[in-house]
Amino acid sequence: MPVKAVERITSKLVDDEERPAPLRPVMTSTWTRVQNWRGWRPQSVAGQTAWRLGVLATWLPVVAWINAHVVEMTVVQGASMYPFINEDKDSSLRNDIVLTWKWSPQTDLQRGMVVTLRSPNNPETVAIKRIVGLEGDTVHTRPPYPFPKVKIPKGHIWVEGDGRPGTTIDSNTYGPVSKRLLVGRATHILYPFHKFGAVKWWDHIPRPIERRPR
């Protein structure tokens, strides 16, 4: 065989070895794996129902933990935060729904924030109020609080509803609230849809207080 012919054959073999393998077999193999993974589920109705229940049982504890410690949808009842929340306060069928952030509710508190807390009078009841004063502030109280002014002790806050006096049970009834009773912060309004969006607590005009010295 001529030398040039041998060189051409050798060159062709080398080129074939260096040429990348076609992608189609790899893609076909991957798709086969996906189909096999999907195909392991039971085919009978009873088997599929049991499989779905098993998946649900697996995720329920995760969802419950997130709901208890991270974030929760809260239905607000009553006129305590009227008109900011429950603007249709006379209707029991149109309660606002807010998103409550429950992770580390006691940190980075600011005046004007809307928070959920366990009522000091009844810890089984969760109330929603606005922070008026922080520890060290002096608040000018409203009836029925027995003193005209109160200095908020360490580890406590002063909360009030947005409704007019007499329509809300808040710190003017039970005094400063321990931060340990805080459950979360209302971060978004989810319903009604025309109010959907972030709770812009920073736009709230605070009532006058004597703030703690910096």
Indicate which residues carry an active-site annotation: 80, 129
User: Rounded distance, CA 176 to CA 139, Å?
Assistant: 10
End-to-end CA distance of the chain: 97
Paired tokens of 161:
């509803």
- Classified as helix, coil or strand, 45 is helix
User: Rounded distance, CA 184 to CA 186, Å?
Assistant: 7
Paired tokens of 133:
């004063």
Residue 51, CB-side half-sphere exposure with 13 Å CA sphere: 11
Question: Which residues, at least 6 apart from 212, have a Cβ–Cβ distance to it below 8 Å?
Answer: 134, 135, 136, 137
Paired tokens of 43:
């085919």
Residue 96, CB-side half-sphere exposure with 13 Å CA sphere: 27
Instruction: Identify the bridge partners of residue 210 per DSSP, sorted by sequence position.
Output: 138
- Classified as helix, coil or strand, 164 is coil
DSSP H helices in 2-152: 3-18, 24-39, 45-69
